[in-house]
Structures are given as C-alpha cells and as structure tokens.
Structure 1
Amino acid sequence: MAAGTAPTPAMIGRAAQWAAELDGDDVTAARRAACESWCAQDARHRLAFERMRALDQRFADMGPVERTALSRAARRRAKPRTMAAGLATLLLLIGAVWLAGHSLLGRQYFPDLRTAPGDLRELALEDGSRLHVDTDTALSRALTGDERRVSLFRGRLMAQVARDPARPFVVETTDGTATALGTRFSVARDASGTIVTVIESRVRACATAWTRQACIDLGAGDRARLSDGVVERLPAVDGEHASAWSKGWLEADDMPLVAVLAELNRYRARPIRFDPAALAGIHITGSYPLRESDRALAAIAATSGLWISQSGEDRMISRDP
C-alpha cells in the first residue's frame, strides 16, 4: 500500500476506539451513525475501521472475561483520567497488533486456516490453484493483482498451482520462500526449519537471512531444507510417494517402524504408545491410511509379528504381549 493511502497512526487509534465502542449490545443508533460519518470522511478511515473489525473477529477465540475487559476499557467514560490511561494502553496494544500483522511473525497468531490433529483438507483458491493442507497446520493466503502468496506458519501443505505467468505463486515461512516455476510442490515447516519437496516441474527455494538470500532451483523429486539463512539440498525422493499424505496415505518403503508410528501419531488425538528402543531396527514397507490409524496399526502388527495391547482408547504396540 502506498504511503499516501495508508491510515495514519491517529486514524488507526480512532478506528480502534470505534471498534471497541461498537462491540456491545448497548450501542445507540446515534453512535453507530457517528462512526459511519467518520468512516465516510476519508477512505483511510473506513479501511482502518474495517481492519480493526477484522481483528476483532480474529480475537473471537478470546474468553468472555478478556473480551469484556477489552470492550469496557474503550467504553469507560465515567472516569476520564482512568479512561485515558486505559485507552492509551489499549491503543498501544492494538497498534502493536496492527504493525505485527504486517510481519510473518505477527501474522502467525491470526492464520486464515487451522487444521486440527487428524484433519486433512483440500482448499480451492480463487485463481484455480488448490492447496492440500495437512494435519495440525496453520496458514494464511493472499491473492493480489501482482502475486499469489501463502504464508505457512506450521505444518505442511501441497500446492497444485494454476498457471499464471504474470502472478508468481509463493509459499513463505520464517525460513524463506518456495516460488513455483511449475505445478505441484509441498512445503513443510517445524521447529527445525522448512523442507521443500517438488512433485512436478520446478521450484525455486530461497533461504532468507538478514543480509543475503541464497537460492537453488529444484526439479521433480528434489528436496531442500531452509534454515538459519542456509538452503541445503537433500537426497531426492519419489515425488508421488512423498505427496501420498495429501490423499490420506502414508507410503513406507523400508521405513523405520519408529518413524512410521511417529507419523501416524501426528493424526491421532491419543498417540500410539511404544518404546522406541525396543522397536529399533524394525523396518516396514506398505501403504497405511492416515485417517484410520487403528486399521494401519493392526496391519503393521500383523505383518511385523508385533502385539497390540488396549486399555480403553489407548493403544500400545510392542514385541511381546
């Protein structure tokens, strides 16, 4: 947004006041009309107010006590000095949120989409692209006239990109970016960094540091890790196997059993219990349904000679009964 069209700090502060004041059942028609009149004075007023109301929607997860306190802080009129101090604190808070909303670190607290453990979703974007969103993932997306950008805060997604040479398709994390030069690729982010995997065509993976940006181009089956300002090429994989999760399957090809169980646990509300040391050295091969992990566990036990014990909803797999 150009500097001349962006709301000023004073406008942002006034918009915060209006948003807090109108967040209640006792607001009079006169006060609503006054707010509308203020919004009509300048397009930046309306923009600031609409964004504040959007923030209010993002705060819907707050408990009733916190929301009531926030509203009362702005509506309190009986004690002007207290009101001024409380409102100053409120505006500082909202201003900080406003500024944070323009950074990736800030926006992670207000994602457009969250998936719960065990939840897999497919999302159609306005440009014809599709996102396959993995379990326990948080992201936001923004499609403008110049660019298509998805911000991945945690978890994993696979993008199937609709061709549009005039608008790059970028997936960003705090570690860097993956820009589509073709069609299908996945991006996964956890505490250790970001992994980019190409399923079809090409992707440019760039790790961002304070003073430089390192980039490499990846082809089908190629992978790279982005972390600490470094982009590292990883061993290639079978792209279709690597993207099987987007169809609800885990493909294991001589995969350590401990790693398979850890992956299945990502999709369970109650994790499978096991002793990693006791199961070390066991490798398995097969296709396992991620949405039916009890069935997957039974198949694993049957083919590897292991035992499953059950206590209520808990499951445990071990070498001995």
Structure 2
Amino acid sequence: MKLKEKDRKTFLRFQREEITAHIIYQKLASIEKEASNRRILEGIAAQEATHYDNLKRYTGIDVKPYRRGIVKYYWLARVFGITFAIKLMEADEESSSFTYAAYTDYPELLQMAQEEEMHENELIAMIKEERLSYMGSVVLGLNDALVEFTGALAGYTMALNDSKSIAFIGSITGIAAALSMASSEYLSTKSETDTGKHPVKSALYTGIAYLITVLALITPFILFENVLISLIVMLAMAILIIGLFNYYYSVAKSENFRKRFGEMAVLSLGVALISFLIGFALKQVIGIEI
C-alpha cells in the first residue's frame, strides 16, 4: 500500500525509533552474561530490524538512529543494571504499540503493534539479575537505616544540641546497627534454604545499604554547625534517598512509585518527629545541657 503524504513524517519517526531500538537491544545483548537473556535480547533486536525494513518499504529511505538514546540506555544498563534499562525501554515500547495500532489503513503496522506488546512479556520473563534477587536485602538495610537512623539523629539533635557530638555518636550507632543488621540478615538467609540466595551476599547487600544511608544522613551534621540546619538537610537527604531508590525499584520491579515512596517517607519522617519530641521531653525531664 502506498504511503499517504500526511503520514510520511510520522513513519520516518517510527523508522528512526525502530533502528534506534534495534541497536540498543544489540548493545544490551552484548553485555548480558546470562545466555537465555541474551538470546531474548538478540531476538527482539532482530524483530526491531524487521520493523525498520517494513517501514522503509513505505518511506523508501534510510534514516539514522537517535545516538543519545543509544548512549543513554547503554550506560543505564552498565550503571544500574540491564533490567532497569530494559524496563525504561519497555515503557517506550508500550507507547509505540498504541501509536502503531492507530494506523488501521496499514495492515503491517497492526502486526507490528501486536509484536511490540509481546516485548513486555518476554522482557519480564528475563529478569534474572543478581542485584534484583537480593533487592529484598537492600530494602531491609535501606528502610531500617532511614526509619531508625532519621529517628535517632532527630532525637540526638534535641537532646545534645551539638552537631559534632551528634555526628560522633551517630557514627558509632550507625556502624553498630549496620553490623547488627548484616548479621541478622546472614542468619535469616542461612535458615531459609529454599531462597537460592547466598547468606554472605545477602548480609553484604543489607550492611552496605545501611552504611551508605548512615553516611549520607550524618554528613550534614559534619558540614554544618547549626543543628537545626543539619537536621533539615538530613531530612531532605532522607527524602532524596527514598525518592531515588523507590524510582529505581518501581521501574525495575514494575511497582507503583507513589505508593512505595509515600509509605517510606511517612514512616521515616514520622519516626523522626516522634524521636525529636522524645529527645526534647527527656532533655526537659533530666535537665541535661551539652
């Protein structure tokens, strides 16, 4: 069927998106170590190339890919894992499938729309990354550090009223708590023989997540003399960590970002407020001045 002139510009855009996706999937396949995942990626890359050829039959010309998109998804896969990069691409694939379906005058595009929808199921089935299998351990360390440590630092702020003392005591508390959490996760994973997770790796993921969070939350008390400014910056850091982690988690696991972000933010800030008030009350009752 001959391409209508009013559709030419849109088809050229489709064509460019398909060749870009083809190259991205090829590059992701080249860095994927799992053989079954690599085969799926290579199959999808071949399918995107077919889509490009189908569109080219209508337009009659070759187009260049979006180089920025190729670089973006390649490095996202390198830094955050192939699953995260794939899930972001999956959202683009979904929007493309609906766009193709709108062009009912071109039978080949209807078939391409169905094939784009199939990508989602194939991509979800290939999630076998180690970092995602240990995501529960990361959540445990991160969540406990945010809830417990924001509360502890808020309590110290009111009770001690000295940023360096808060940072010092907070560091000791945080390191001890990280070691405790890592030990607990090790014993918990070791007792659950059917999880397929290694106890030492689970402990490391939990402990490191806890320590990184502790370091981020203590830093404002090292940088600023004023304890209230330190407290405000610390709470802002907590919200930022919650936002960044839950964005990553919601993309990689296809879960609702707002719900997860809201739950963690309310828990962390709620505990911080209660601990601040407890610190104030204890200071008044005991009469400690530092």
- TM-score normalized by the length of structure 2: 0.24
Asked which structure has the greater RCO (Cα within 8 Å, sep 6+), the reply is 2
Structure with greater helix share of residues: 2
Higher strand residue share: 1
Superposition TM-score, scaled by structure 1 size = 0.22
